[in-house]
Copies of this chain bind each other. A is one copy, B any other.
Amino acid sequence: MHTSETEVRALLEARVECSRDKDVERLMSLFSPGIVYVDVVPPLRITGRDTVRANFERWFGEYEGPIDLETHDLTVEAGEDTAYAHMVHRDTGTLKDGTVRSVLVRSTVCLRRIEGEWLITHEHVSVPIDPATMRAWQPQE
Interfacial residues, chain A to chain B (CB-CB below 8 A) = 36, 38-45, 73, 75, 77-84, 86, 88, 104, 106, 108, 110, 112, 121-122, 124, 126-131, 134-137, 139
Contacts and interface: CB of A to CB of B under 8 A. Distances in A.
A124 to B, nearest CB: 4
Given A112-B77, A129-B127, A122 B41 contact: no
Which DSSP category, helix, strand, loop or mixed, fits chain A's interface? strand
A139 B43 CA distance: 7
| A79, A80, A84, A137: most-surrounded residue (chain B CB, <10 A) | A84
A99 to B, nearest CB: 14
A126 B136 CA distance: 11
16 contacts: A38-B86, A39-B128, A41-B128, A41-B130, A41-B131, A44-B88, A44-B128, A77-B121, A78-B82, A79-B82, A86-B124, A106-B126, A126-B128, A129-B129, A134-B135, A135-B135
